[in-house]
A = this chain, B = another copy of it.
Amino acid sequence: MATLGAASQKHKVAIIGSGNWGTTIAKVVAENTTANPDLFERDVQMWVYEEQVTVDQQQQKLTQVINTKHENVKYLPNIPLPTNIIANPDLIDTVRDATILVFNLPHQFIARTCDTLKGHVVPFARGISCIKGVNVTEDKCELFSDTIGQQLGIYCGALSGANIATEVALEKWSETTVAYDPPEMDSRHQTPVGSRRGSESGEQKVGLDSGHVAKPGVKTTKLKALPTDYPPLSHNNIKKLFHRPYFHVRMVHDVAGVSLGGALKNVVALAAGWVDGLGWGDNAKAAVMRVGIMEEVKFGKTFFSNSVRTETFTEESCGVADMITSCSGGRNFRCAKMAVKEGKPIGEIEERELNGQKLQGTSTAYEVNAFLKKEGKEREFPLFTAVYNILEGNKKPEDIPDLLEDRADE
C-alpha cells in the first residue's frame, strides 16, 4: 500500500565475499530483505570467488552448487541458505544497481577487489565492512572501512561483535554492533523515529573516521547523496538489514571504535592466556581484560578522531563482549595459555595447533608496538607494550602485575 511520502525505489543489497562469515552474513541479510519488502529488494547478490568443488562425486562450480542446493558446501556446510541468495562469480555484475554493499572478505583482498570495483558501483551506494581488524603499520593506523570508502568514493560503516560465524549460522543467539555515521549530505530526509542522531540527516560531521596518520579521507563533497526516492538509510533501516531474533543489533556512530575493538582484543587475549596459564585464576584474567578495554579506549581516543567514544568499548558487543569471548576460548588465548603451561615459545604452539595459520594477536601486537614506538607512546599503553616485550623475550608473563602497576591508579 503506497502511503504519502513512501519511497518508490528499494535498496538492492550485494555481499562482497562468501567465506564462512560472508555466507553467514548473506544468510542474515537475505532473511531480512524478505522480511522487509518495503525497504529492500528480495534478491541478494553474493560475490563468490569461483572454484570447483566436488559434490555427489562430480566436479561442479561453487556458484552453481550454492544456487541449486542453497548451501555453501565449501565454506558453510550443512547450513540451508535462503533461496534469495544469488551466488555470482562476476564481481562487477554482483554490485550492479546495488545501493548497499556489504564487504566480508579476507583483508588482504580488499585492495584488489576495490580496484576491480572502482567506477562500477552506484555513486550514491553505502558500504558496511564486516572485516575484522585495522591496518596498522609503523606510519599509520587505518580502518578497513576507510580504505574501502576511499577507494570507491563511497561512505562505508562497519559491523563487528562477539560473533562466531558458525554459531550465528546455527542461529545461536548473539549480539553485534553496527557503526554507521555518514557525513551530512543535505537535509531532505527527516530524522526517522527511533534513530537517535538521525544518520543521513542533520549531522554536523565532516570527513571520515580517518586514522591519526592515515591518508586524508574522502572529502565530504565527493560523496553523493542518496536520492529521495529511496528509503533513507537511517539507523532504523540499517538495523532492519542485520537484526534477527538470534542476532541482536545495536547501532552506534563510532566506526573507528567498532573496528579497533575487533583488532586490539587479540593482543589482550594473549596476556589473558599467559595469566591463566600461570594459574592465577579468573580474577587475574578479568583484571587483564579490564585493563585491556581501557587501553583500547585510550588508543582510539589518542589516534582517531573525536568521534571515538568510550562506550563503544565498554558497553557494546564489539567491545566488552568481544573481549570476553576472545579471552574465554579464542585461539590467541588458548595458544598463549598453552605456551606458559608447557614452557614453550608461543610460535611453537602456533605451528602445532593452527595447522599453518598464524595468530592474529602476535602480528597485531608487533604492528601496534611499531606504531606506538614511532609515536613515542609505548609507556602510555603498558599492557600492549608488555605483550610485545613478553613476545620478544624482554619480559616474562609473571611481570604483568608489576608492568601495569604504575597505571593502576589512573
Contacts and interface: CB of A to CB of B under 8 A. Distances in A.
Interface in A226-280: 239, 243, 245-246, 248-251, 275, 279-280
Contact of A287 (B248, B290, B409): B248
Nearest to A235: B409
A332 interface: no
A294 B321 CA distance: 12
A310 B239 CA distance: 25
A69 interface: no
A292 to B, nearest CB: 11
Contacts of A320: 286, 289-290, 293, 314, 320
A317 interface: yes
A293 B289 CA distance: 15
A404 interface: yes
Nearest to A163: B283
**How often does this chain occur in the complex, in copies?**
2
Nearest to A313: B314
A321 B288 CA distance: 9
Contacts of A408: 175, 243, 248-250
B280 A405 contact: no
- Of A162, A279, A290, A409, chain B has the most CB atoms within 10 Å of the CB of A290
Contacts of A316: 290
Interface residues of A: mostly helix, strand, loop or mixed? helix
Contact of A162 (B250, B287, B324): B287
Contact of A294 (B164, B315, B401): B315
A287 B246 CA distance: 11
A360 interface: no
Interface string A106-137: 00000000000000000000000000000000
A320 B310 CA distance: 14
Contact of A314 (B175, B282, B286, B315): B315
Contacts of A205: none
A173 B401 contact: yes
Interface in A365-410: 400-402, 404-405, 408-409
Contacts of A249: 408-409
A321 B409 contact: no
A64 interface: no
Contact of A172 (B174, B280, B315, B409): B280
Contacts of A401: 173, 245-246, 248
Contacts of A402: 245
B329 A282 contact: yes
Of the candidates A161, A311, A315, A402, the one having the most CB atoms from chain B within 10 angstroms of its own CB is: A315
Query: Which interface residue of A250, A279, A293, A324 has the most chain B CB atoms within 10 A?
Result: A324
Contacts of A280: 167, 172-173
A126 to B, nearest CB: 20
B283 A409 contact: no
B245 A287 contact: no
Nearest to A315: B314
Contacts of A251: 409
A163 B174 CA distance: 28
Contact of A248 (B289, B311, B317, B404): B404
Given A245-B401, A283-B325, A293-B320, 15 more contacts: A162-B286, A164-B283, A174-B286, A174-B287, A246-B401, A282-B329, A286-B317, A286-B320, A286-B325, A286-B328, A287-B321, A289-B320, A289-B321, A290-B321, A294-B315
Interface of A: 161-164, 167, 172-175, 194, 239, 243, 245-246, 248-251, 275, 279-287, 289-290, 293-294, 310-311, 314-317, 320-322, 324-325, 328-329, 400-402, 404-405, 408-409
For the complex of A and B, 8 pairs with smallest distance between CB atoms: A314-B314, A286-B321, A174-B283, A248-B408, A173-B401, A286-B324, A175-B287, A162-B283
18 contacts: A162-B282, A162-B283, A162-B286, A162-B287, A167-B280, A167-B284, A173-B284, A174-B283, A174-B287, A245-B402, A246-B401, A248-B287, A248-B401, A248-B404, A248-B408, A283-B321, A283-B325, A289-B320
